[in-house]
Structure formats: C-alpha cells, structure tokens
Structure 1
Amino acid sequence: MAKRDYYETLGVAKGASEAEIKKGYRTKAKELHPDRNTDNPNAEAQFKEANEAYDVLKNPEKKAAYDRYGHAAFEGGMGGGGQRGGGGQGDFASAFSDVFDDLFGDMMGGRGGGGGRARAQRGNDLRYNLRINLEDAFAGMQKTVNVPTAVSCDGCNGTGAEGGSEPVTCPTCAGMGKVRAQQGFFTVERTCPTCSGMGQTIKNPCDKCHGQGRVEKEKSLSVNIPAGVETGTRIRLAGEGEAGMRGGPTGDLYIFIEVNDHKLFERENTNLFCRVPVSITSAALGGEIEVPTIDGGRSRVKIPEGSQSGRQMRLRGKGMPALRGGGQGDMFIELAVETPVNLTSRQKEILKEFDEIAAENNPEGSSFFKSVKSFWDGMKG
C-alpha cells in the first residue's frame, strides 16, 4: 500500500514554513492521540503516521530530501522517518517531545512556548493569624504586626549573584529548567537537578543569600483593621509576602482575623446578645435596669411587670457595625430571673406566705398542672 504524502498527512501545503508544519502537527497530534480516541481502532496507526511525517518535515535536511525524491529518499536504510532504518521509538519520542509542551504544558505549570522556564519565580503568599478583642472589632484599629518572611537580598539586589554578575544558562537543561528521559514509548520530563528548575545557574553566588536572591527577616507592618470585622475576615496586603526568587515578584500577605470571646456579649453577625440577671421582685413588679453597651456606654432598660426568664428586649442600633458600611446591628437584652439562695428563717416564712396567696398569679404553672391532671385522668380512663 502506497504511503500518504507527508504534507497531506499533516494537513499542510507543500512548501509550508517550519511554523506551519509544527502547527499542523500539533493539530493532528491532539486530534489523533490514542488516549482521546479509545473508540477508534485506527487512531494509533494514524497518530504514528503523523509523527513519522513530522519527524521528516521538521528536519531541514530530511525535508529537502523528501521534497526532491519523495518517500524513496528514505528507502534502503537511509535514516528516514518513523519506523525505518532503526529509527523506531527514538525518532517517534523525539518528534512527540516537540509537541509535549502544547499537549500537557498547562497541566505542568504553563511555561509558554519556546523559551523554557521563567528565570525568576514569584514569592510565596504568607498567612498571619491576628487575634483581637470584640471592642477592637467594633471600633476598628491600626495594628502593628511582626511577620517573619523572606525579603530581597540587598547584597546582590535580589539576583543571587555576587558583585552584580549575571546568572548563566544551565548547561544541563540548556535553560529549559527540565530534563527529558526516554522510558520506552514515552519521554518523561523532570525538574533539572542542576538548577532546580530555574533554567540558570550562578557561578559566583552571593555570600549573604547563597544564591537565593533573598534572606530571612522579620518585617514590621502596620495593618488597618476596619470596623465590623469578625472571625474569618481576611485582609490582603499586596506585595507584603515573600520576595521572589532571583528578582521575581513578591507574594502577598493575608491577615486572618480571629475575634476573642467576650465576657458580657455574644455576637451573631451584626447583632449582640447580653444576658442580664434580675431579681424575682424586679421581674414580678417591673422596674428599670442599667446595661452596658459595646461602645463603653450605658443604656437604661425598662422591665415590664411579670417578666419571665428568657424574655428579650431590643436596643436598636447598639450592635456591631456592618463591615464596609451598611448600617449597624441591634443589641438584645435577655432576662435571667434569679432564684434567691441562703435565705433566713424570716425570708422563708414570707415566701411561704406569699406562695399560699399567690398560686393563681402563676399563669404558666397553673396551666401546666391543669394539663398534667388531665393527662393522668385520661390514663386512668
């Protein structure tokens, strides 16, 4: 069976440029790759055919011979493409590796075409956990924090090289930051062990940073904590993270807020809750109490006659401010009616006398015991 024309196989015209040939091969490789065509039994053969064509047309000498003599140029062991003349897996692996970045580059870090790895690397982002009091979360504050981080080395201006000298291209990976090893049918890429993926080496590393371009240092920063923050609020300080490797851009610093529990107030979003104990007499007769507010002030609250434990009263606008504006929450006073302890004999006598004459004044108790009596009567029936 006659072999297909290599240009036709790649879907390009005769006389196509190197870039057009490579583009045609990329398209065919993605289209015909066996992993993407599990239901097509001919995909693997077509894929190998495309690789054989590209192996010839990407090489200027082989391409010139093919343009002049066609497939006959590689017959009889003349070192042609694909599976002839002992080329076999090695030629295929070489051809496939040229398009490896285009097929899988995004998954391996998105280096971009042709130029190898970026020489500088962005610094890491940092996280700092900051604990504050509820009062500070209410009012907002300016806080100075000390963050251990990596900063650009002033001895080499972040280059990692001594005396202003420039890094040189890594001889092991030729600046790619990776090396390739053939394992059977596939070509495997690994980070270059010589330059650790940087693509460059430094002949005279800086004594201060040992070629890293950065040094460890504690940095003091002033952080603006806006009013209304709560646990989990994240504040981003752009460019305050770790310095990049060898002059790379600096990462960011993220301040995570954690608000301490308060002795008097419980918070729920922008609302505050305060549990206030009151005496039996105040709850029964009514009265007025003074309660604290989160801003350090005081508010007077009237207690209605006959108030029960758990009753809530609202103080509008006395809660927490909403983060980035949007009004202010409310404060809820919850009454906790106290039972007196350590009574004297006289106090006990007074309470017993009061209990005898005030049984009908306990509506909830009377209703409950009527329900209990009805339940028992029903069980007997």
Structure 2
Amino acid sequence: MDDAYHGAQIPLAFERVSLCDICHGTGARGASSVKRCSRCRGSGRVQFSQGFFSMTQTCTQCGGEGQVIENPCPECRGGGRARKMARLTVKIPPGIYDGATLRIAGQGETGPRGAPSGDLHVHVRVKSDPRFERTEDDLLVERDVDIAEAALGTTVEIAALSGDLTKIKIPAGVGHGATFRIRDKGMPKLHGRGHGDLLVKIRIAVPQGLTAHQRKLLEELARSLRAGHDDGASTERKKDDSGIFKKIFGSE
C-alpha cells in the first residue's frame, strides 16, 4: 500500500506479438519473395458481375493483401510478427486503487502489415496493509486503549501511512468502537487534489493476568460503581474511582 500512497516506478515483463526481427514485418524470406497478386493485380479486391449487378469481394488468392509471399520467413511463417518478451517500466500514480487499469498507448501488440501497435492495459492489484483498512480515499486504523484510559481520557499518537505522527485527544468515557476523524491524512485523491481522511477506531482492551492487588482494586471499584448507581454516585466518590483506576494502571 506504500507504493499506492506515494506512487512508484514498477518494472514489468510480459509477452506480446511484435515485429519479426528476421523479415522486419514483410513476412518474406527476402524482398524478391514478395510478388504482386496476379488475380487482383495488387488491389486486394476482385470484381465480378451477376446479372445486372457488379460486386466486389476480398481476393481469395492473397487474402486482401494485394501481394503473395512465395517464400515465407522461417521465423514468423509469413505473418510478419512473432511473440517476444518485452520489458518496460510502468508509472503507478499516487492514490491508485485495487482493481484499477492503466492504459499505456502504443505498447500493445504490433499491428499486421505495418498497422500501428495497440495499447497495453495493466491491471493493478494493491497489496493490503495490516495496519489500515481502505474505503475509497479514506483509511481506517484501530487503536487500543485500556479501561483506565477509556474512563479517564487520554492523548494517543497515530502514525499515518505517510509516516506523519498526529496526536488526538480521547475524551473521558469513550465507548468501544468510537471513531475519530483526522482530516487529510488518508490516501491521495487519484484524479484530484488533496487526500482522504484517516479514521481512528477505538478498541477498549480488557486487561489479562491481573495481579492480586489489581484484582482487589477492581473489585473495590466495581462495588463503588454499583453503590454509586444506587445512591446517585456522589461527586466525591467519582473522584475516588478515578484514583483507583490510576492505581491499577500505574498512572500515579
């Protein structure tokens, strides 16, 4: 995904039909092997009459080419083209998305008998990044906070895909799954200016492997919270609860 964010130059190797290196597209072993078609006299079309009507059709002797190859090229067997490996560097623009197709003019297969080459269509697959989930130009990142940070509030530092670090304030009492938006820290817009946004989704991590002391403090907090619900939870008790949280997680 870093290449999709910053843009990249990607080397590409592929097989395509190209001009034959032996006959240089003539399809003949030598110049003397190419003769004008005797039936259509080089026009590639023949005319015939049927009653009062005059009609033309493709010459069946030369296949519409107007010439006949008496001694075909051994490499391309008279086709003037052969399959070969090609290598080029593809420019990936910033903000490219998974499944996009890039068209590179003139880098497709060589046309028959001197016709212009077609275009090369490159189907882009963007490798996912385990840190981010992409939706159009926005990126989503999940951030764990412990129950003390969730209850008391905190400030966390978020690393964007660009490498920039941004601090966001998590308010006290934040809920699991709450999402905060950081403007212009998402993916570059592919066909426009600016960037999408970076969304930070909060996950509240439940502590594992509590010590006996921490467990005792949590049980004390649980009793205090239940009592607070019963009698209206006085302001002084709420302050005490905050102190208990800090003791559990070493903030004091």
TM-score by length of 2: 0.77
List per-residue Cα deviations over 1:18-59 (Å, max 9, x = no partner). Answer: xxxxxxxxxxxxxxxxxxxxxxxxxxxxxxxxxxxxxxxxxx
Q: 2:224 aligns with which of 347, 357, 363?
A: 357
Counterparts of 1:1-381 in structure 2 under 5 Å? Answer: 134-165=1-32, 166=34, 168-169=36-37, 175-176=44-45, 200-359=67-226
Q: Which amino acid aligns with 1:219?
A: A
Corresponding residue number in structure 2 for 1:52:
none
| C-alpha contact (below 8 Å) 2:93/2:190 kept by paired residues | yes
User: Paired residues, what number?
Assistant: 216
SS at match of 2:87: strand
Aligned equivalents of 2:78 and 2:14: distance in 1?
A: 23
Q: Which amino acid aligns with 1:311?
A: A
Aligned equivalents of 2:26 and 2:184: distance in 1?
A: 56
List per-residue Cα deviations over 1:300-344 (Å, max 9, x = no partner). Answer: 221111111111111111011111323211101000001112223
List per-residue Cα deviations over 1:103-148 (Å, max 9, x = no partner). Answer: xxxxxxxxxxxxxxxxxxxxxxxxxxxxxxx111111111111121
Q: Which amino acid aligns with 2:211?
A: T
Aligned equivalents of 1:265 and 1:170: distance in 2?
A: 69
Q: Which amino acid aligns with 1:265?
A: F
% of aligned pairs identical? 37
Aligned equivalents of 2:191 and 2:69: distance in 1?
A: 49
Aligned equivalents of 1:351 and 1:267: distance in 2?
A: 38
Aligned equivalents of 1:338 and 1:281: distance in 2?
A: 10
| C-alpha contact (below 8 Å) 1:320/1:329 kept by paired residues | yes
Higher relative contact order (CA 8 A, sep 6+): 2
Aligned equivalents of 2:15 and 2:76: distance in 1?
A: 16
| C-alpha contact (below 8 Å) 2:44/2:58 kept by paired residues | no
Q: Unmatched 5+ residue regions in structure 1? A: 1-133, 178-188, 363-381
- Larger % of strand: which? 2
Give the deviation of 1:203 after TM superposition: 0.9
Corresponding residue number in structure 1 for 2:234:
none
Aligned equivalents of 2:5 and 2:121: distance in 1?
A: 21
TM-aligned CA distance change 1:210 to 1:341, over 3 Å:
same
Aligned equivalents of 2:122 and 2:25: distance in 1?
A: 26
Aligned equivalents of 2:164 and 2:59: distance in 1?
A: 63
SS at match of 1:246: helix
SS at match of 1:358: helix
SS at match of 1:258: coil
| C-alpha contact (below 8 Å) 1:271/1:330 kept by paired residues | yes
Corresponding residue number in structure 1 for 2:247:
none
| C-alpha contact (below 8 Å) 1:156/1:164 kept by paired residues | no
Greater Rg over alpha carbons, structure: 1
| C-alpha contact (below 8 Å) 1:157/1:247 kept by paired residues | no
| C-alpha contact (below 8 Å) 2:44/2:59 kept by paired residues | no
Aligned equivalents of 1:142 and 1:156: distance in 2?
A: 34
List per-residue Cα deviations over 1:216-253 (Å, max 9, x = no partner). Answer: 21111111111111012221111111112232221110
SS at match of 1:294: coil
Give the deviation of 1:176 after TM superposition: 4.7
Q: Which amino acid aligns with 1:148?
A: E
